[in-house]
Structure 1
């Protein structure tokens, strides 16, 4: 039959066919005996609706069918869905809801297929809600709105049961919570409005109760174990049935109740809090503490503060211990004033620096491992060690102690360490140096001790010396090590001069110094300043000096030689009655001993006159030779101190186990001289910094100039503000700068 001759289908006639299909579908969904839909059944319904929608007006029933679609769904809900739900509660209601929701979605899907033509043409032209949306809206308004509160409460009740350790049907909860999402047609509005706030509120109440119970019963580690376990369970809960969008809100609330609310109580527990964990080296618990408190806002601040307090207190205790040990040794009468006491106290300082290094290694490992190298803990660690390293220890600064420690490592006769151990130890010293505000003071002491090692040929290894300088350069910059590097280079060049001198002696037969003479020639600009005295050298040594002077004049006539006898050493042969021995002494000591070749007995005054030295130097020489371990000279009276009235004579009975002995001079405290030199260099550095800034900026405010000067210099030392202001005044007087005429608070550079 042609299309224009197609039989008109009345609405009642067509809807009767539809009702039969809908009833069959409902029976199938309810599980009643009913044959399955065949393709012929489906096509009959589809074609009927198609024809009813494509008939010419007034027989186009598209609008009526669209309305009947919604009515059919509503009738199904009111007759089958709601009655089945109203008689059930708790988990039974949830299971029925999941079943009914699943059946309803099947019904909507089948009806949407029957009414497909409406969706494709009629609805699109009229901009009406699609059939699927109509179906969801119908269920939402009739079913969801009625049961949502009961459903929400039932779900939360099951979640609480699971929190208490009971087994629940997670798949059931997953399906129910998916309904909250699906009912919003892809939007999270209903889940976030009707379920999530109640979940968060219930979770807060639940964990608030738990926290109140645990905080009174458990130690800090036990509390954290529980907190971490329950947080993992909440994460697991999200992954199994809660929507992923709930995770940050839920965890934030749980963390707030378990950690934020009781943070101070937990961290400050007397016998198990953060202080106790640090004290007892509970590394695993500290790592857990970091993991937990890193998750809450500013949660790490109190932990880092306690860490800083602990490290600072530990360092302070270490300082007190060493100061007590030093005071004890000074008070102990068996330690006489002199070399032995100096050596013993030096051991105290060495042990102290080693303990500081060990302390640094320990807490650096805490920062890296327990606290995951977090910036907050790095800062706390640095502040604690800056406090420790800027403390004075028994009258000595950490700068001096580190320089002395390096000297002990790098000189000969130090405790034998492998090359790797020495390099590792030096690396750790440089790390400690980074915490010291007065790095220039370290440089002053280190340079002085480096000079002593080089000049007395007491350096264990050139490679280690250069390695240390390289590390210092990397830490503090090239200017920091410039003079030290020049010293090493100059010392190497000085050894080359000695080789040339030896070749000169071989070629010139009449140039015989009479002794085995070794001279190190150096440029004074590179080295620390040393006092030079006109020591009356013994004739045996004076001849050698003249020979070297003649040699040096053949090389250059534009440089003057200045002899620093205080830096010289001599090996002399002592003929004693028990046996002949070799004595390793300083040039001063040798000069004093050689006086006894021509005199059996000399007074203090005679020795001082013949040597042409100061009282202090003569006292040190005579004490080392008559009052110390090796008594080469006998003194009258036989006391431990040197007086101008004393007499001395050669001790022919002297003997020792070894045939070759070293007789050191009592140490001289050069601290004052080093500090004076550093203060002088600081004044020069401040002047140079100010001039450099003003030359670059031309015009600058007074206060800004002071600030920039501090910023430039603080990497090497902490400049004194009064010293900067004084330097500015001096530079104004010397016409390097002047007050600006236009702005009385500014300075301008004077070219």
Structure 2
């Protein structure tokens, strides 16, 4: 190609390279002085013209690069140009290296980064000058398998790596690495450093990681060997020394703050100037040195922080120890023990308060005179104290009991949520501890006590006498009830007590709110399923149906009877036998004429409307309101039906003997005697000369006098009845569960059958192994199961 004006002849290699060398040198060393667009384009043109020259180079790449072997027509012009360019980079870098020879530490880094910036910027411009060389000659060489040929920019980096970087890092000095590590240590010691300087050196290490098999792929070998490995070793040494010294002079809690701060600093260091791949190794190394090596000290401090409720320090400890394998396991175990003890202590205080009240009553009733014989000071006897303690355990109020359980759960649940970030391991520890202290504590003389007290607490919330003023307060209290319910093991016992108390509220119309009742049933349904609450829901349906039945009965009576015949305000609740925890009374009762007539009318109305149904009157749950007509002030007596039948006997006579009352009502002695005792205590009747007489001078501060008060003995009997029914239901449920399992599995080992039965029932109650064995024996007798012919510890299901 003929030369253009002012440009060398493309056929003259010497002139061509001389022209290009001057331009390349200006770019590499004096770029800040500027270069015109025309000058740059002239350089590009000369490079292009030489590479596209038709003159074939007689030597080719084999000779110019020192290789041997024949060449094909691929001998494009470019080998000599590539060789001269490579030699220029080497010569230039040797000069740069010479100026760095006497430098070290921060001055060396400044010089290195300044030259690196200048060199890589210039190399990128030079690379574009030789675009044609890269696209054709270099590509052809690489396609033919020559791994020592690179694009011009990569050639510049390879030259830097061998001529400057390798020389500065040679020997034991590792001048660049040493200088960088010194700066990082200064920063760790609180000094301000130029982080951009560190970042540029480290970035150069990354850039020099060239994968010679694929120069487009990053290789971090240089970065790891030159920086990361010595950096991690220096990190370990620095923090090992610092942590030991700091702990020797400071408390564990202060050390945790220091460790937390240091870990944050190292995370930030990665973002500031390290390669992202170092994060995992750096954090792991710091966690080992700062946390793992001192984990035992922190774990020993845990109990003190728990006792003092130091939430920020507990959270810090959790975050630190969660970084290492199994670091939290000892904390979870100690937390479980701590919560269990706190729960037991809380119940103990509630029982103690109840015992103190019982002790005060016992002391007032009698005791031992204090030494000295003064007379007035009385010291309770050991027997009285023991009785008071027993009374405290048995007589703890449901609210005080549940509050004592909730206080511990609420405090520690909040701790788990905040300090331990809702960690599932701590949640499980809390649950195990709560399950333990809820079911086995000082107040639980029997396994059924905790579910009974919880059911009575729920009953107090849902009754009209509840002091909670707002619906929101009741709703929250019900939610709290379910918190304790979650940990009750014998949920079937709770169900029995709750069912009885619900029936009482519905029958006596003492529910504070139907919405609250429905809400509680909904919560129980969510927790235990539809079957658990199905009877409770049907009880509500019966009450609604009874309201409709009463309205229709009254309408019918008004249509068929004169108003003079309907003086008694009569309401009936018709309850389905299968849904209500109520049995027909064993006590016989003769109704007085005042009640009998109305009762017969309703029976006739109901049987006519519902043929085939049988009514059984539940007198022990019925109630009446009587008006006293013989006193100046007209009082109303609220009574049970048994009480009403006794008092109505006095309409015929003001004075009756016990025999008269027993004959007139047909009540048994164990029922009649307590009723009469209550009447005399309330001064409605007076016992004179063996006869019971109306107290014609009866007076009361209240117009409505409540006589239908439950007796404590009845509550004890109720508890015994509940447990009797629970035991019966459990036997049936265990058998049904075994049959269901065997029907599915057909054949099963003895121990496996017991384990699966217990596992399926544990959400309802905790069955005893002995009870499961009895159920298996029963099913063997009933021929639902049989023993395997050859293995007696294996059972077969019999269809």
Q: Closer, same or farther in 2 for the Cα pair 1:71/1:343, shift >3 Å?
A: closer
| Alignment partner of 1:71 is 2:95 | no
Paired position in structure 2 for 1:253: 285
- Rounded to whole Å, the distance in 2 between the matches of 1:113 and 1:499 is 101
Paired position in structure 2 for 1:659: 703
Write out per-residue CA displacement over residues 614-652 of structure 1, whole angstroms, 9 at most, x where no aligned residue: 45434532443344xx34345699xxxxxxxx8765444
Task: Pick the aligned partner of 2:486 from 409, 416, 434.
Answer: 434
* Contact 2:416 2:427 (8 Å CA) reproduced: yes
| Alignment partner of 1:171 is 2:192 | no
Q: Closer, same or farther in 2 for the Cα pair 1:589/1:119, shift >3 Å?
A: same
1:217-366 → structure 2 map (5 Å cutoff): 217-218=249-250, 222-269=254-301, 274-333=302-361, 348-366=397-415
TM-score, normalisation: structure 2: 0.81
1:247-646 → structure 2 map (5 Å cutoff): 247-269=279-301, 274-333=302-361, 348-392=397-441, 393-395=443-445, 397-509=449-561, 512=565, 515-530=568-583, 531-556=585-610, 558-574=612-628, 579-595=633-649, 611-627=665-681, 630-634=682-686
Write out per-residue CA displacement over residues 59-92 of structure 1, whole angstroms, 9 at most, x where no aligned residue: 88655554443333223233x2222222111101
SS of equivalent to 2:573 = coil
Task: Pick the aligned partner of 1:684 from 726, 732, 741.
Answer: 732
1:43-58 → structure 2 map (5 Å cutoff): 46=47, 50=51, 54-58=55-59
Shift of 1:150: 1.9
More off after superposition, 367-376 vs 233-242: 367-376
Paired position in structure 2 for 1:99: 114
Q: Closer, same or farther in 2 for the Cα pair 1:176/1:564, shift >3 Å?
A: same
Paired position in structure 2 for 1:642: none
Q: Closer, same or farther in 2 for the Cα pair 1:369/1:53, shift >3 Å?
A: farther
Shift of 1:356: 3.1
- Rounded to whole Å, the distance in 2 between the matches of 1:496 and 1:59 is 112
Paired position in structure 2 for 1:722: 770
Paired position in structure 2 for 1:643: none
* Contact 2:354 2:396 (8 Å CA) reproduced: no
More off after superposition, 718-727 vs 735-744: 735-744
TM-score, normalisation: structure 1: 0.86
| Alignment partner of 1:713 is 2:758 | no
Shift of 1:17: 5.7
Q: Closer, same or farther in 2 for the Cα pair 1:236/1:307, shift >3 Å?
A: same
Paired position in structure 1 for 2:209: 184
Shift of 1:676: 1.0
* Contact 2:490 2:765 (8 Å CA) reproduced: yes
Task: Pick the aligned partner of 2:162 from 121, 132, 141.
Answer: 141
More off after superposition, 708-717 vs 218-227: 218-227
- Rounded to whole Å, the distance in 1 between the matches of 2:265 and 2:60 is 62
* Contact 1:699 1:746 (8 Å CA) reproduced: yes
More off after superposition, 532-541 vs 551-560: 551-560
- Rounded to whole Å, the distance in 2 between the matches of 1:355 and 1:92 is 70
- Rounded to whole Å, the distance in 2 between the matches of 1:119 and 1:560 is 106
More off after superposition, 258-267 vs 588-597: 588-597
- Rounded to whole Å, the distance in 1 between the matches of 2:47 and 2:117 is 23
What do you get for the CA RMSD once the two structures are aligned?
Answer: 3.9
Q: Closer, same or farther in 2 for the Cα pair 1:490/1:658, shift >3 Å?
A: same
- Rounded to whole Å, the distance in 2 between the matches of 1:8 and 1:383 is 89
* Contact 1:391 1:397 (8 Å CA) reproduced: no
Shift of 1:494: 2.8
- Rounded to whole Å, the distance in 1 between the matches of 2:516 and 2:420 is 34
- Rounded to whole Å, the distance in 2 between the matches of 1:300 and 1:53 is 77
SS of equivalent to 1:91 = helix
More off after superposition, 117-126 vs 521-530: 117-126
Write out per-residue CA displacement over residues 488-533 of structure 1, whole angstroms, 9 at most, x where no aligned residue: 2223323333333333433443894774433323232221133431
Shift of 1:578: 7.1
Task: Pick the aligned partner of 1:151 from 161, 165, 176.
Answer: 176
- Rounded to whole Å, the distance in 2 between the matches of 1:546 and 1:513 is 13
SS of equivalent to 2:30 = helix
Write out per-residue CA displacement over residues 254-276 of structure 1, whole angstroms, 9 at most, x where no aligned residue: 2333333223322432xxxx445
- Rounded to whole Å, the distance in 1 between the matches of 2:616 and 2:88 is 118
- Rounded to whole Å, the distance in 1 between the matches of 2:609 and 2:570 is 18
- Rounded to whole Å, the distance in 2 between the matches of 1:635 and 1:268 is 73
Task: Pick the aligned partner of 2:30 from 28, 31, 53.
Answer: 28
Which ranges in structure 2 are unaligned for 5 or more consecutive residues? 65-77, 211-217, 366-383, 385-389
SS of equivalent to 2:289 = helix
Write out per-residue CA displacement over residues 285-330 of structure 1, whole angstroms, 9 at most, x where no aligned residue: 4444444444443444344444433332322221111121222223
* Contact 1:532 1:565 (8 Å CA) reproduced: no
Shift of 1:156: 1.6
SS of equivalent to 2:635 = strand
- Rounded to whole Å, the distance in 1 between the matches of 2:304 and 2:462 is 39
Shift of 1:167: 1.1
Q: How many residues align?
A: 730
1:81-96 → structure 2 map (5 Å cutoff): 81-96=96-111
* Contact 1:514 1:540 (8 Å CA) reproduced: no
Shift of 1:218: 4.5
More off after superposition, 289-298 vs 672-681: 289-298
Paired position in structure 2 for 1:731: 779
Shift of 1:478: 1.0
Q: Closer, same or farther in 2 for the Cα pair 1:573/1:172, shift >3 Å?
A: same
* Contact 1:494 1:520 (8 Å CA) reproduced: yes
SS of equivalent to 2:219 = coil
* Contact 1:45 1:114 (8 Å CA) reproduced: no
Higher relative contact order (CA 8 A, sep 6+): 1
Which ranges in structure 1 are unaligned for 5 or more consecutive residues? 638-645
SS of equivalent to 2:156 = helix
